[in-house]
Chains A and B, each alone.
Chain A
């Protein structure tokens, strides 16, 4: 008796009656459904297996080998991993990558937001369209092509940038050749290219904030700063979080800009980890060690993303 009551209270496995008093039709699984689902999933699952999972497993396996592409690989256990700890170049490359990544991230998050907010202010439609297109355009063209043009413009002695800077009394800056400026050049060119995407996402986020809330705040006498910091920014926090995660991952994987602009130099001043991995794999033909370094980058990004998710719980407001 008691058992029955309890069972009825928590549900006895039958579908509950709907409001109209009719029994809801039970969703039936037909015998062919499994096949259909598999067929629909197959293209994405297949390409994921082939192009993401299989190479990842391959990279992990390779990290235990010494292999130059042409010879038979030799199993060397953890040698590649112990080598990580004595590789002073890798430390330098991680340092330059992190510095550049933080700068790229900051520009995308802060300047991107600033530009997006400016774009959302009152202005004639055609001008808004022009600005939006101008900001987004660099994002859709090839990184290498963009970097080639910038390389020409940023040349120390014959470039247009230094020529114009000369008019305001700035002496020739060695944008591509000096350890101090080469990372700056990489950050500027990469941010110039990627900030368009951040702006696009910010604009979408800004447009999804209901006008009523802002109007209510105006009625309550909130000024523009208060409205921005108390309403816009909290409601935009999921967008900010999304952009922080995406931009962190992208900023740690910069390749084309340093490759074309500075060849990673001078020395390793503007070399990124991805460039280092490429060089190790395809210039030194040391596929095993390159895979090991690749794994470290993957781990760094996974840890950073986990931290971001953890921290975001405190700051992200999903209205």
Chain B
């Protein structure tokens, strides 16, 4: 009897603690007030917190009576963010809108979590302005089975960053937009040096991110005229001739001593600032690291042309979720993120630029006019306006697994442990399984 009482006591106390813990987890509750919005965003640092707070404050001010609750979500990278976002949604707490990149939209859409915005785009008179002022390639990066799933409010394309000081020291002219793969290799070779004469190279011509595919192999694949996926993103094309050509070209840069072993992107920033690497690929975001640190000896140019030229670009925006209590209000919020006011705040300053390119062409032009480095910043928007973009956007629903699968095999290839052909053949088998789910 006494033992029973004790057990009951233990259970009661445990239950009380559990209940306290659980209620504190779910505090905030769900909003039934139709004038309130819950917006989930990727909290990758203070910049993200400030930017989203400004967005929420601005929207509340522009729409009296509405309240915007922000849900910051941690994550080391996009993959981590999506994992945490999915966990949040799985726990039953469903935001009205969520920040997402083109890479992740199919994952959300494939799980019926995103409200397509086609009707809004066709019926809202204000939408026409956006359609005219946003490059079609950016809208298309948010496409899913013929639907547009969100308005991009910021984006990045892949361009070549080059260290102007190292070019000057080598007596090389700055690259032109029509440079070819041969020009590129010759330039990179001329920038590869043993500056202190100790017999080993300490300045390399070029390197690329070993931990991401967008600033990694993808621009080369695109310019070889290929893609990693087929035209409707229903299967992989990882061992197609253009991919083999692109990876072989990069592999040659390593074996010829022009490029070091690929390292993660953040390491490359440091090497580039330190003059150990003369060129690398990235979007606008590297400049948001370089400029606040006072490093200005750089400019950008398009990736060199191979068999063709195709810009690789990806966008980010706030997608409306199917859990939105008031989708119309959520659409107003989404529109607000691409309003001129908010877009202007995406410009930043010459010493503290923002890390993505504004999606409105008119705002992007202001960025160039404001004299914010890089000097050739005009190229950012031109790359999607004046040049063809890689289509389809190379991201299947299982983006994180797809990217890590590609990296798993390219690591082996670039380490010289498997031939380009064998590596890509194996990659094709695995990647096809990831995309088709078989």
Contacts and interface: CB of A to CB of B under 8 A. Distances in A.
B261 A174 contact: yes
Contacts of A42: 10, 13-14, 17
B94 to A, nearest CB: 11
Interface string B185-201: 00000000000001011
Nearest to A144: B76
B398 interface: yes
The SS class assigned to the B binding surface is: helix
B79 A35 contact: no
Interface in A225-256: none
Interface stretch (A68-76, A95-103, A105-113, A211-219): A68-76
Contacts of A157: 201, 204, 260-261
Interface string A141-158: 000000000011001111
A46 B13 CA distance: 8
A266 B13 contact: no
B89 A69 contact: yes
B438 to A, nearest CB: 14
Q: Which of A158, A176, A285 is packed against the most chain B CB atoms within 10 Å?
A: A158
Interface string A247-276: 000000000000000011111100000000
A137 B79 CA distance: 32
A282 B239 CA distance: 27
Contact of A68 (B111, B264, B414): B111
Given A70-B89, A284-B401, A38 B412 contact: no
A41 B9 CA distance: 11
A172 B199 CA distance: 12
Contact of A151 (B86, B111, B267, B276): B267
Which size bracket describes the interface of A in this complex?
A: 35 or more
Interface in B379-413: 398, 400-401, 404, 407-409, 411-412
Interface in A38-63: 38-39, 41-43, 45-47, 49-50
B400 A282 contact: yes
A40 to B, nearest CB: 10
Interface residues of B, number: 50
A264 B211 CA distance: 11
Contacts, number: 125
B5 interface: yes
B93 interface: no
Nearest to B87: A69
B297 interface: no
Nearest to B277: A158
B26 interface: no
Q: Which of A70, A152, A263 is packed against the most chain B CB atoms within 10 Å?
A: A70
B79 A282 contact: yes
Interface in B66-125: 79-80, 83, 86-87, 89-90, 107-108, 111, 113
A120 interface: no
Contacts of A151: 263-264, 267
A10 interface: no
A68 B263 CA distance: 31
Contact of B417 (A156, A158, A267): A267
A144 B414 CA distance: 25
A218 to B, nearest CB: 54
Contact of A50 (B21, B264, B409, B417): B21
Contact of A46 (B18, B270, B276): B18
Nearest to A41: B10
Contact of A285 (B5, B113, B398): B398
Interface in A134-181: 151-152, 155-158, 163, 166, 172, 174, 176-179
Contacts of A71: 111
Nearest to A50: B18
A174 B407 CA distance: 17
Given A151-B267, A279-B404, A283-B400, A266 B415 contact: yes
Nearest to B7: A38
Q: Which of A157, A179, A263, A284 is packed against the most chain B CB atoms within 10 Å?
A: A157
B389 to A, nearest CB: 26
A155 B13 contact: no
Contacts of A263: 210-211, 264, 404, 407, 411
Interface string B1-23: 01001100110011001100100
A200 B83 CA distance: 38
Interface string B247-282: 000000000000011111001001100001000000
A34 B267 contact: no
Interface string A275-293: 0000101111100000000
A47 to B, nearest CB: 8
Contacts of A49: 14, 18
A267 B86 contact: no
A183 B40 CA distance: 38
A307 interface: no
Given A42-B17, A155-B261, A265-B411, 18 more contacts: A35-B9, A38-B9, A45-B10, A46-B14, A46-B18, A69-B83, A69-B87, A151-B263, A151-B267, A157-B201, A172-B200, A263-B264, A263-B404, A268-B408, A282-B83, A283-B401, A283-B404, A285-B83
- By Cβ-Cβ distance, the 9 closest A-B pairs, closest first, are A157-B260, A282-B83, A266-B411, A283-B400, A265-B411, A42-B13, A46-B17, A38-B9, A70-B111
22 contacts: A34-B6, A38-B6, A39-B13, A43-B17, A45-B14, A69-B86, A69-B87, A70-B90, A155-B263, A155-B267, A174-B415, A177-B262, A177-B414, A263-B210, A264-B408, A265-B411, A267-B409, A267-B411, A282-B80, A284-B400, A285-B86, A285-B401
